[in-house]
Chains A and B, each alone.
Chain A
Amino acid sequence: MKFLTTNFVKCAVKGCQSSTESFPLKYSDCQLVQEEQEYNPEFLVHMLERLDWNAVIQVARDLGNDSLPPTKPDSLDPIMEEDQAVLKDLHTLLVETQIVEGRMTCNNCQHVYHIKNSIPNFLLPPHLC
């Protein structure tokens, strides 16, 4: 599961739908692997528009990375050298970082989901469906 995907998944429990605590999930015991991917700065700039930045920061912190800027970097220009460095870092974090094994916990209901072989499992036990 790519780091990027943590921005798009939440707790599957019905009762948590309306809770702001059910996203992002809390990541723990994670095993990370870097997977080389095509670097396309223009695409990355557009991709950033789709992200909830607070969730990016929170999950990065769960995984031991405290170095992200507090607000979403905007108007990045792939031509500018400074911005290039920022984009390259974001590429490494969001696109190339894979969570291969780990746990995801809902901050609202405390249900724990597992990631195995890069696949997060959101199936619920019958009493939670």
Chain B
Amino acid sequence: MLPTPEVKHIDYDTVYEPSEDSFLLLDCFEQELSFLTTKFSTTIPIVTEIGTGSGIVTTFLQKNILQKAIYISTDVNPHACKTALHTVKVNNADSESEKSEKSKNEKSTPELVDICQMDLVSAIRPKIDVLLFNPPYVPAGEVPTIPNKEDDSTWLDLALLGGEDGMVITWKVLDSLDSILAENGVAYILFCARNKPDFVANEMTKRGWKVKEIIQRKAGWEVLCVLRFQRL
């Protein structure tokens, strides 16, 4: 098993705590390791995680799956942005033993992760090669509005509440996938059963996407899964 990034000193009143969904994504990428490394063996991919939260998934990818890549991850929540950047730094501050181990093996690559406070991917210029998103997927009356003060107490609501079917934010991403994703790009999005992932997969297939369920797991009374989207 690949090592899970350290997430410490996080204020879980303001930042989403790594949970079953986060860990399902880590397992998903462990499973996708050879698919992704093969796919991007000759180019340096642009990788973006929308809603990076604690930064655990972005850091896991950067450390274990795609080291030679440029990461630009986003979150609307300023506390999440700070925390994610901290998580990246902590996990890249190698101990001396790790360093000497590395220099013996191969040249290591710099850590190229930046975290931007941003709505979805609205300020990212290039097409994205690898997109990942563990969205706010809990069905709710509506999607909460973005607070305008940093010390607002409702930032965490944005991590959970996804409006009708818990799909309002996710559909925004899926509807614009064609313009966001590079020609050879791939997107991984997490769903719970109440999001009706089968319906989503059908709908996206109709629109010309190749959709595959990579992993599925029962988590308490939720059933979670990750779907992978690619162009045909």
Cβ of A120: which chain B residues have Cβ within 8 Å of it? 114, 116-117
From residue A27, how far is it (CB to closest CB) to chain B in Å? 14
Is A121 on the interface with B (CB-CB < 8 A)? yes
**B82, A9: Cβ atoms closer than 8 Å:** no
Is A2 positioned at the interface, with any CB of B under 8 Å from its CB?
A: yes
Q: Assuming the A-B contacts A11-B123, A122-B118, are A40 and B46 also in contact, with contact meaning beta carbons closer than 8 angstroms in the complex?
A: no
Q: A122-B117, A123-B146 are in contact. Are A43 and B70 (CB under 8 A)?
A: no
* Contact (A119, B123) CB under 8 Å given A12-B118, A37-B111, A50-B44: no
Partner among B46, B82, B125 whose Cβ is within 8 Å of the Cβ of A23: B125
A47 interfacial contact with B, CB 8 Å: yes
Tell me if A56 counts as interface (CB < 8 A to partner B): no
B interface footprint on A8-40 (CB within 8 Å = 1, 0 otherwise): 111110000000000100000000000001111
User: Is B109 interfacial (CB-CB < 8 Å)?
Assistant: yes
Give Cα A12 to B121, complex, Å: 9
Interface size class of B (residues with CB under 8 A): 20 to 34
A71-110: which have CB < 8 Å to B? 91, 95
B110 within 8 A of A: yes
Over the window 111-151 of chain B, the binary record of Cβ atoms lying under 8 Å from chain A Cβ atoms (1 yes, 0 no) is: 11011111100111110000000000000000000100000
- Whole-angstrom distance between the alpha carbons of A129 and B11 in the complex? 29
The answer to whether the Cβ of B81 comes within 8 Å of any Cβ in the partner chain is yes
Residue A4 lies at the interface, judged by CB distance under 8 Å to chain B: yes
Interface centre among B76, B116, B119 (most CB of A within 10 A): B116
B78 lies within 8 A of chain A by Cβ: yes
- Distance in Å: Cβ of B95 to nearest Cβ of chain A: 15
Per DSSP, are chain B's interface residues mostly helix, strand or loop, or mixed?
A: loop
User: Does any Cβ of B come within 8 Å of A112's Cβ?
Assistant: no
- With a CB–CB cut-off of 8 A, which chain A residues contact B126? 8, 50
Judging by beta carbons under 8 Å apart, are A8 and B118 in contact?
Answer: no
CB of B8 within 8 A of chain A?
A: no
Contacts of B228 in A (CB 8 A): none
Identify the closest chain B residue to A47 (Cβ).
Answer: B44
* Binary CB contact string for chain A from 53 to 82 against chain B (1 if under 8 A, 0 otherwise): 000000000000000000000000000000
Q: How far is the CB of A65 from chain B (nearest CB, A)?
A: 20
CA distance A1 to B126 in the complex (A): 17
On whether the beta carbons of B85 and A118 are closer than 8 Å, the reply is yes
Q: Are B44 and A119 in contact (CB under 8 A)?
A: no
The residue in chain A whose Cβ has the minimal distance to the Cβ of B110 is A37
